[in-house]
Amino acid sequence: YAGAAEPESESETEKEHMFDKVVTPSDVGKLNRLVIPKQHAEKYFPLDSAASESKGLLLTFRDPAGKSWRFRYSYWNSSQSYVMTKGWSRFVKDKKLDAGDVVSFHRAAKDHRNRSDRLLFIDWRRRPDVAIPPPATAFSI
């Protein structure tokens, strides 16, 4: 119908789930970085030697609201880990992420623009064990 979403909008883009990451206290703490598990990092965000030697790559993800988030992604030799650094702390603050929450990464299933860099998406959800507070009437007096 008239006014239908453009194919580039998230609702129209068929997504492929890449992986979920349960964030740790250090992922949402003062270190301002998200560690990406090695098996996922090497499969979905491979770094060539030039990117590894330099400061890494800038990756842009779109959240469900359509907002773009840009993170610096690199390999830290000191801890032998793949990390998202610059930009990550803004995402944590904006989404009010806590340890145990789950961040999920997706990419466009098909590349509509015939480019190798597919659209990337990021989503999050509260950790599963957060109980909803009981209604006020449930409290004993």
Q: Is it the case that residue 138 has pLDDT exceeding 80? A: no
The most confident of 5-14, 95-104, 117-126, by mean pLDDT: 95-104
76 belongs to a structural domain: yes
24 belongs to a structural domain: yes
Q: According to the model, what pLDDT value does residue 28 have?
A: 97
CATH number for position 75: 2.40.330.10
- For the segment 68-83, what is each residue's pLDDT rounded down to a tens digit? 999 999 999 889 999 9
Tell me the mean pLDDT in the region 24-34. Answer: 96
Tell me the mean pLDDT in the region 122-126. Answer: 96
Tell me the mean pLDDT in the region 20-48. Answer: 95
Q: According to the model, what pLDDT value does residue 1 have?
A: 44
90 belongs to a structural domain: yes
**How far, in Å, CA of 40 to CA of 111, rounded?**
20
Contact 123, 101 (CB under 8 A): no
94 belongs to a structural domain: yes
Q: How many domains does the chain have?
A: 1
Q: Which residue segment(s) compose the domain that 114 sits in?
A: 10-130
Strand partners, 121: 62, 106
137 belongs to a structural domain: no
Distance set, CA 123 to CA 1, 55, 106, 133 (Å): 28, 25, 8, 24
47 belongs to a structural domain: yes
